[in-house]
Amino acid sequence: MWWETGVRARAQAGLFAVFSELPRLVGAALAVSWRADRLRTSIVAATTVGAGVLAAFGLLAAQRVLVELFAGGPTADKVIAALPALAALAAVTALRASMTAAMGYAQNGLSPKVDREVERGLFEVTTAVRLEAFDADAFADDMERASRGADSTTGLVQSSINLLAGLTGVLAVAVAVVVIHPLLLFALLVATVPNGWASLRAGHLRYQTYAAGSVRRRRLWLLHRLMAERDSAPELRTYGLRAFLLDQYDRVMGVETGIQLALARRVTTTTTVGAMIGGIATAVVYVLLGVLLVEGQIPLAAAATGVIAVQSAQRSLAVVTFQMDRVYTEGQHFRDYTGFMTRAADYLPEPRTGDVGRQAPQRVAHDRGGRGQPALSRP
Protein backbone atom coordinates (compact mmCIF):
# COMPACT_ATOMS: atom_id res chain seq x y z
CA MET A 1 0.00 0.00 0.00
CA TRP A 2 1.12 3.56 -0.64
CA TRP A 3 1.53 4.41 3.04
CA GLU A 4 4.02 1.56 3.45
CA THR A 5 6.40 2.79 0.74
CA GLY A 6 8.54 4.78 3.13
CA VAL A 7 8.47 2.08 5.81
CA ARG A 8 9.59 -0.58 3.34
CA ALA A 9 12.35 1.65 2.02
CA ARG A 10 13.60 2.27 5.57
CA ALA A 11 13.41 -1.44 6.39
CA GLN A 12 15.54 -2.30 3.35
CA ALA A 13 18.04 0.53 3.74
CA GLY A 14 21.17 0.22 5.80
CA LEU A 15 22.46 2.98 8.02
CA PHE A 16 24.94 4.10 5.36
CA ALA A 17 22.11 4.57 2.84
CA VAL A 18 20.14 6.59 5.39
CA PHE A 19 23.11 8.82 6.23
CA SER A 20 23.95 9.39 2.56
CA GLU A 21 20.42 10.47 1.60
CA LEU A 22 19.64 12.64 4.60
CA PRO A 23 21.39 15.81 3.30
CA ARG A 24 19.41 15.73 0.05
CA LEU A 25 16.10 15.16 1.82
CA VAL A 26 16.71 17.88 4.40
CA GLY A 27 17.79 20.28 1.65
CA ALA A 28 14.63 19.55 -0.34
CA ALA A 29 12.49 20.08 2.75
CA LEU A 30 14.11 23.43 3.51
CA ALA A 31 13.68 24.52 -0.12
CA VAL A 32 9.94 23.80 0.02
CA SER A 33 9.69 25.56 3.36
CA TRP A 34 11.50 28.61 1.98
CA ARG A 35 9.15 28.86 -0.99
CA ALA A 36 6.12 28.47 1.25
CA ASP A 37 7.00 31.15 3.81
CA ARG A 38 10.38 32.85 3.92
CA LEU A 39 9.69 34.74 7.13
CA ARG A 40 8.69 31.73 9.20
CA THR A 41 11.48 29.63 7.71
CA SER A 42 13.96 32.34 8.67
CA ILE A 43 12.55 32.47 12.21
CA VAL A 44 12.85 28.70 12.56
CA ALA A 45 16.41 28.72 11.24
CA ALA A 46 17.47 31.64 13.45
CA THR A 47 15.91 30.23 16.61
CA THR A 48 17.34 26.76 15.95
CA VAL A 49 20.86 28.12 15.61
CA GLY A 50 20.30 30.56 18.48
CA ALA A 51 19.10 27.81 20.81
CA GLY A 52 22.22 25.80 20.02
CA VAL A 53 24.50 28.73 20.69
CA LEU A 54 22.71 29.46 23.96
CA ALA A 55 23.05 25.81 24.96
CA ALA A 56 26.81 26.13 24.58
CA PHE A 57 26.84 29.37 26.59
CA GLY A 58 24.68 27.71 29.22
CA LEU A 59 27.22 24.94 29.70
CA LEU A 60 30.02 27.49 29.96
CA ALA A 61 28.01 29.51 32.48
CA ALA A 62 27.31 26.38 34.50
CA GLN A 63 31.00 25.55 34.46
CA ARG A 64 31.80 29.04 35.74
CA VAL A 65 29.28 28.66 38.55
CA LEU A 66 30.92 25.40 39.60
CA VAL A 67 34.37 26.99 39.47
CA GLU A 68 33.27 29.62 41.94
CA LEU A 69 31.44 27.18 44.20
CA PHE A 70 34.37 24.74 44.29
CA ALA A 71 36.88 27.48 45.07
CA GLY A 72 38.36 27.85 48.52
CA GLY A 73 37.04 30.25 51.12
CA PRO A 74 33.86 30.86 53.12
CA THR A 75 30.62 29.60 51.59
CA ALA A 76 29.00 33.02 51.57
CA ASP A 77 31.89 34.50 49.63
CA LYS A 78 31.76 31.65 47.11
CA VAL A 79 28.03 32.12 46.56
CA ILE A 80 28.48 35.88 46.06
CA ALA A 81 31.28 35.25 43.58
CA ALA A 82 29.06 32.82 41.68
CA LEU A 83 26.10 35.24 41.44
CA PRO A 84 27.14 36.84 38.10
CA ALA A 85 27.54 33.42 36.49
CA LEU A 86 24.22 32.32 38.00
CA ALA A 87 22.51 35.40 36.59
CA ALA A 88 24.02 34.70 33.18
CA LEU A 89 22.87 31.09 33.37
CA ALA A 90 19.33 32.17 34.30
CA ALA A 91 19.26 34.70 31.44
CA VAL A 92 20.51 32.11 28.95
CA THR A 93 17.92 29.60 30.14
CA ALA A 94 15.07 32.11 29.84
CA LEU A 95 16.21 33.31 26.43
CA ARG A 96 16.57 29.78 25.16
CA ALA A 97 13.05 28.94 26.37
CA SER A 98 11.66 31.97 24.55
CA MET A 99 13.51 30.95 21.37
CA THR A 100 12.06 27.46 21.64
CA ALA A 101 8.57 28.95 21.97
CA ALA A 102 9.14 31.22 18.96
CA MET A 103 10.40 28.29 16.91
CA GLY A 104 7.33 26.22 17.83
CA TYR A 105 5.00 29.09 16.89
CA ALA A 106 6.69 29.63 13.53
CA GLN A 107 6.82 25.91 12.83
CA ASN A 108 3.10 25.48 13.53
CA GLY A 109 2.28 28.36 11.20
CA LEU A 110 4.59 26.94 8.56
CA SER A 111 2.72 23.65 8.19
CA PRO A 112 -0.40 24.96 6.40
CA LYS A 113 1.77 27.13 4.17
CA VAL A 114 3.79 24.08 3.12
CA ASP A 115 0.59 22.13 2.45
CA ARG A 116 -0.67 24.91 0.20
CA GLU A 117 2.65 25.24 -1.62
CA VAL A 118 3.00 21.60 -2.61
CA GLU A 119 -0.68 21.10 -3.41
CA ARG A 120 -0.80 24.24 -5.53
CA GLY A 121 2.27 23.06 -7.42
CA LEU A 122 0.60 19.71 -8.07
CA PHE A 123 -2.56 21.36 -9.39
CA GLU A 124 -0.57 23.70 -11.60
CA VAL A 125 0.80 20.64 -13.37
CA THR A 126 -2.37 18.54 -13.47
CA THR A 127 -4.39 21.41 -14.97
CA ALA A 128 -1.76 22.11 -17.63
CA VAL A 129 -0.98 18.64 -19.02
CA ARG A 130 -2.57 17.44 -22.23
CA LEU A 131 -5.86 15.60 -21.86
CA GLU A 132 -4.36 12.37 -23.16
CA ALA A 133 -2.20 12.15 -20.03
CA PHE A 134 -5.22 11.10 -17.95
CA ASP A 135 -5.75 8.10 -20.25
CA ALA A 136 -2.27 6.75 -19.47
CA ASP A 137 -2.23 4.23 -16.63
CA ALA A 138 1.29 5.19 -15.56
CA PHE A 139 0.31 8.85 -15.30
CA ALA A 140 -2.75 8.08 -13.18
CA ASP A 141 -0.72 5.90 -10.79
CA ASP A 142 2.01 8.52 -10.60
CA MET A 143 -0.54 11.24 -9.86
CA GLU A 144 -2.13 9.24 -7.03
CA ARG A 145 1.24 8.59 -5.41
CA ALA A 146 2.15 12.25 -5.88
CA SER A 147 -1.01 13.30 -4.03
CA ARG A 148 -0.03 11.09 -1.13
CA GLY A 149 3.52 12.43 -1.31
CA ALA A 150 2.22 15.97 -1.10
CA ASP A 151 0.47 15.04 2.15
CA SER A 152 3.80 13.76 3.55
CA THR A 153 5.69 16.96 2.80
CA THR A 154 4.65 18.66 6.03
CA GLY A 155 5.92 15.70 8.03
CA LEU A 156 9.21 15.82 6.13
CA VAL A 157 9.64 19.54 6.83
CA GLN A 158 8.83 19.18 10.54
CA SER A 159 11.11 16.17 10.95
CA SER A 160 13.94 17.95 9.12
CA ILE A 161 13.63 20.97 11.41
CA ASN A 162 13.61 18.76 14.51
CA LEU A 163 16.60 16.83 13.18
CA LEU A 164 18.56 20.04 12.65
CA ALA A 165 17.60 21.21 16.14
CA GLY A 166 18.91 17.97 17.62
CA LEU A 167 22.13 18.15 15.63
CA THR A 168 22.60 21.75 16.70
CA GLY A 169 22.23 20.68 20.31
CA VAL A 170 24.86 17.95 19.94
CA LEU A 171 27.23 20.33 18.15
CA ALA A 172 26.73 23.02 20.79
CA VAL A 173 27.63 20.59 23.57
CA ALA A 174 30.71 19.45 21.63
CA VAL A 175 31.92 23.02 21.17
CA ALA A 176 31.34 23.83 24.83
CA VAL A 177 33.28 20.82 26.12
CA VAL A 178 36.19 21.59 23.77
CA VAL A 179 36.34 25.10 25.23
CA ILE A 180 36.27 23.69 28.78
CA HIS A 181 38.82 20.92 28.09
CA PRO A 182 39.62 19.10 24.79
CA LEU A 183 39.73 15.69 26.51
CA LEU A 184 36.04 16.05 27.38
CA LEU A 185 35.15 15.76 23.67
CA PHE A 186 36.61 12.27 23.58
CA ALA A 187 34.70 11.42 26.74
CA LEU A 188 31.51 12.77 25.16
CA LEU A 189 31.89 10.59 22.05
CA VAL A 190 32.69 7.45 24.01
CA ALA A 191 29.70 7.89 26.31
CA THR A 192 27.06 8.74 23.68
CA VAL A 193 27.85 6.81 20.47
CA PRO A 194 26.87 3.31 21.76
CA ASN A 195 23.38 4.44 22.79
CA GLY A 196 22.94 6.27 19.49
CA TRP A 197 23.86 3.16 17.52
CA ALA A 198 21.50 1.02 19.62
CA SER A 199 18.60 3.43 19.00
CA LEU A 200 19.14 3.40 15.24
CA ARG A 201 19.45 -0.37 15.19
CA ALA A 202 16.28 -0.83 17.26
CA GLY A 203 14.39 1.49 14.91
CA HIS A 204 15.62 -0.54 11.94
CA LEU A 205 14.29 -3.74 13.53
CA ARG A 206 10.88 -2.14 14.13
CA TYR A 207 10.64 -0.99 10.51
CA GLN A 208 11.59 -4.44 9.22
CA THR A 209 8.93 -6.10 11.36
CA TYR A 210 6.26 -3.60 10.34
CA ALA A 211 7.03 -3.95 6.65
CA ALA A 212 6.77 -7.74 6.88
CA GLY A 213 3.31 -7.59 8.50
CA SER A 214 1.29 -6.05 5.66
CA VAL A 215 -0.76 -9.19 4.95
CA ARG A 216 -1.60 -9.72 8.61
CA ARG A 217 -2.71 -6.11 9.06
CA ARG A 218 -5.00 -6.28 6.02
CA ARG A 219 -6.48 -9.58 7.25
CA LEU A 220 -7.08 -8.15 10.72
CA TRP A 221 -8.72 -5.09 9.18
CA LEU A 222 -11.04 -7.35 7.17
CA LEU A 223 -11.89 -9.47 10.21
CA HIS A 224 -12.67 -6.31 12.17
CA ARG A 225 -15.09 -5.16 9.49
CA LEU A 226 -16.80 -8.55 9.36
CA MET A 227 -17.22 -8.93 13.11
CA ALA A 228 -17.84 -5.36 14.33
CA GLU A 229 -19.93 -3.56 11.68
CA ARG A 230 -23.65 -3.44 11.04
CA ASP A 231 -23.50 -4.33 7.33
CA SER A 232 -22.03 -7.77 7.90
CA ALA A 233 -23.87 -8.57 11.14
CA PRO A 234 -26.95 -10.28 9.52
CA GLU A 235 -24.86 -12.61 7.31
CA LEU A 236 -22.55 -13.46 10.20
CA ARG A 237 -25.53 -14.68 12.25
CA THR A 238 -27.46 -16.25 9.37
CA TYR A 239 -24.61 -18.46 8.22
CA GLY A 240 -23.16 -19.15 11.67
CA LEU A 241 -19.76 -17.58 10.92
CA ARG A 242 -19.02 -16.40 14.44
CA ALA A 243 -16.86 -19.35 15.48
CA PHE A 244 -15.06 -19.43 12.13
CA LEU A 245 -14.18 -15.72 12.20
CA LEU A 246 -13.06 -15.85 15.84
CA ASP A 247 -10.84 -18.81 14.97
CA GLN A 248 -9.36 -16.85 12.08
CA TYR A 249 -8.72 -13.94 14.40
CA ASP A 250 -7.02 -16.19 16.95
CA ARG A 251 -4.80 -17.66 14.24
CA VAL A 252 -3.71 -14.30 12.83
CA MET A 253 -3.25 -12.70 16.24
CA GLY A 254 -1.37 -15.74 17.48
CA VAL A 255 1.19 -15.22 14.72
CA GLU A 256 1.21 -11.43 15.22
CA THR A 257 1.66 -11.75 18.98
CA GLY A 258 4.56 -14.14 18.51
CA ILE A 259 6.23 -11.79 16.06
CA GLN A 260 5.76 -8.79 18.35
CA LEU A 261 7.19 -10.73 21.29
CA ALA A 262 10.20 -11.73 19.18
CA LEU A 263 10.61 -8.10 18.14
CA ALA A 264 10.42 -7.00 21.78
CA ARG A 265 13.17 -9.47 22.67
CA ARG A 266 15.41 -8.31 19.82
CA VAL A 267 14.82 -4.62 20.53
CA THR A 268 15.36 -5.14 24.25
CA THR A 269 18.55 -7.07 23.57
CA THR A 270 19.83 -4.38 21.22
CA THR A 271 19.02 -1.48 23.53
CA THR A 272 20.36 -3.38 26.53
CA VAL A 273 23.64 -4.12 24.78
CA GLY A 274 23.87 -0.47 23.74
CA ALA A 275 23.06 0.67 27.27
CA MET A 276 25.63 -1.73 28.73
CA ILE A 277 28.34 -0.59 26.34
CA GLY A 278 27.33 3.02 26.95
CA GLY A 279 27.34 2.43 30.71
CA ILE A 280 30.78 0.86 30.61
CA ALA A 281 32.02 3.68 28.41
CA THR A 282 30.51 6.25 30.78
CA ALA A 283 32.19 4.53 33.73
CA VAL A 284 35.50 4.62 31.85
CA VAL A 285 34.93 8.32 31.20
CA TYR A 286 34.29 8.96 34.91
CA VAL A 287 37.41 7.00 35.84
CA LEU A 288 39.36 9.05 33.29
CA LEU A 289 38.00 12.26 34.77
CA GLY A 290 38.94 11.03 38.24
CA VAL A 291 42.51 10.28 37.14
CA LEU A 292 42.80 13.70 35.52
CA LEU A 293 41.49 15.29 38.71
CA VAL A 294 43.98 13.44 40.89
CA GLU A 295 46.85 14.39 38.61
CA GLY A 296 45.70 18.00 38.54
CA GLN A 297 45.27 18.09 34.74
CA ILE A 298 41.63 19.15 34.91
CA PRO A 299 39.75 21.23 37.51
CA LEU A 300 36.84 19.80 39.45
CA ALA A 301 34.41 22.23 37.83
CA ALA A 302 35.38 21.04 34.35
CA ALA A 303 34.85 17.42 35.36
CA ALA A 304 31.41 18.18 36.78
CA THR A 305 30.49 20.11 33.64
CA GLY A 306 31.60 17.13 31.57
CA VAL A 307 29.05 14.97 33.37
CA ILE A 308 26.31 17.50 32.62
CA ALA A 309 27.45 17.69 28.99
CA VAL A 310 27.27 13.92 28.53
CA GLN A 311 23.68 13.85 29.78
CA SER A 312 22.68 16.78 27.56
CA ALA A 313 24.32 15.20 24.50
CA GLN A 314 22.52 11.91 25.11
CA ARG A 315 19.16 13.69 25.15
CA SER A 316 19.92 15.53 21.91
CA LEU A 317 21.22 12.36 20.29
CA ALA A 318 17.98 10.55 21.13
CA VAL A 319 16.09 13.26 19.21
CA VAL A 320 18.49 12.95 16.28
CA THR A 321 18.16 9.18 15.94
CA PHE A 322 14.36 9.31 16.06
CA GLN A 323 14.07 12.15 13.54
CA MET A 324 16.55 10.52 11.15
CA ASP A 325 14.17 7.60 10.66
CA ARG A 326 11.22 9.95 10.15
CA VAL A 327 13.03 12.12 7.62
CA TYR A 328 14.05 9.11 5.57
CA THR A 329 10.58 7.54 5.69
CA GLU A 330 8.65 10.71 4.82
CA GLY A 331 11.26 11.53 2.20
CA GLN A 332 10.37 8.44 0.19
CA HIS A 333 6.79 9.66 -0.18
CA PHE A 334 8.01 13.14 -1.03
CA ARG A 335 10.18 11.60 -3.74
CA ASP A 336 6.99 10.25 -5.34
CA TYR A 337 5.75 13.84 -5.52
CA THR A 338 8.93 15.29 -6.99
CA GLY A 339 9.24 12.37 -9.41
CA PHE A 340 5.74 12.97 -10.73
CA MET A 341 6.40 16.68 -11.16
CA THR A 342 9.45 15.83 -13.28
CA ARG A 343 7.83 13.13 -15.40
CA ALA A 344 4.64 15.15 -15.95
CA ALA A 345 6.67 17.64 -17.98
CA ASP A 346 6.52 15.13 -20.86
CA TYR A 347 2.75 15.68 -21.06
CA LEU A 348 2.82 19.46 -21.09
CA PRO A 349 1.73 21.06 -24.37
CA GLU A 350 4.38 22.59 -26.61
CA PRO A 351 4.54 26.39 -26.32
CA ARG A 352 3.19 28.11 -29.42
CA THR A 353 4.94 31.03 -31.06
CA GLY A 354 3.17 34.28 -30.45
CA ASP A 355 0.97 32.82 -27.74
CA VAL A 356 0.45 35.64 -25.27
CA GLY A 357 -1.71 33.59 -22.95
CA ARG A 358 -5.44 33.24 -22.72
CA GLN A 359 -7.61 35.89 -21.21
CA ALA A 360 -9.50 35.25 -18.00
CA PRO A 361 -12.90 33.61 -18.57
CA GLN A 362 -15.86 35.91 -19.02
CA ARG A 363 -19.51 35.49 -18.05
CA VAL A 364 -22.68 36.58 -19.75
CA ALA A 365 -24.68 39.14 -17.77
CA HIS A 366 -28.11 40.50 -18.63
CA ASP A 367 -28.31 44.15 -19.62
CA ARG A 368 -30.02 46.11 -16.89
CA GLY A 369 -30.97 48.81 -19.41
CA GLY A 370 -33.98 46.82 -20.61
CA ARG A 371 -32.76 46.28 -24.18
CA GLY A 372 -32.49 42.54 -23.61
CA GLN A 373 -29.01 42.40 -25.08
CA PRO A 374 -26.47 40.32 -23.13
CA ALA A 375 -23.28 42.04 -22.04
CA LEU A 376 -19.88 40.50 -21.37
CA SER A 377 -18.30 41.25 -18.04
CA ARG A 378 -15.30 40.11 -16.08
CA PRO A 379 -15.99 37.66 -13.26
> What does the domain layout of the chain look like in residue ranges?
2-348
User: 3-state DSSP: the chain helix, strand, coil percent, rounded to 5?
Assistant: 85, 0, 15
Would you say residue 211 has pLDDT above 60? yes
Res. 377 pLDDT band, cuts 50 70 90 = very low
pLDDT at position 251 over 50 = yes
pLDDT of residue 360: 54
Which range is least confidently modeled, 4-13, 90-99, 135-144, 266-275? 4-13
Instruction: Report the C-alpha gap between 282 and 230 in whole angstroms.
Output: 58
- What CA–CA distance (Å, rounded) separates 21 from 29? 13
Which of 13-17, 29-33, 162-166 has the lowest average pLDDT?
A: 13-17
CB 10 within 8 A of CB 210: no
Q: Say yes or no to pLDDT of 282 above 80.
A: no
Q: How many residues does the chain have?
A: 379
Most distant pair of Cα atoms in the chain: their distance = 106
The answer to which of 99-113, 151-165, 302-316 has the lowest mean pLDDT is 302-316
- The one-character DSSP state at 378 is -
Q: What's the pLDDT score for residue 244?
A: 92
* pLDDT, tens only, 168-206: 888 888 887 777 777 777 777 777 788 788 888 887 788
Q: Are 199 and 318 in contact (CB under 8 A)?
A: yes
Is the predicted pLDDT of residue 353 greater than 70, yes or no?
no
Higher pLDDT, 248 or 8: 248
pLDDT bucket at 254, cuts 50 / 70 / 90: very high
pLDDT of residue 38: 92
Return the C-alpha torsion angle 24, 203, 199, 149, nearest 10.
30
Of residues 345, 320, 334, the one with CA closest to residue 27: 334
Residue 365 has pLDDT above 60, yes or no: no
Write down the pLDDT at residue 379: 47
Please list, in sequence order, all residues whose beta carbon lies within 8 angstroms of the beta carbon of residue 31, skipping any fewer than 6 positions away: none
pLDDT band, residue 54 (cuts 50/70/90): confident
Average pLDDT of every residue of the chain:
81
- Please return the burial class of 339, using the count of CB atoms within 10 Å of its CB with bins 0-12, 13-18 and 19+: middle
Assign domain 2-348 one CATH number from 3.40.50.410, 1.20.59.10, 1.20.1600.10, 1.20.1560.10: 1.20.1560.10
What is the pLDDT at residue 373? 53
Q: How confident is the model at residue 376 (pLDDT cuts 50, 70, 90)?
A: very low
Contact indicator for 128, 348 with CB cutoff of 8 Å: yes
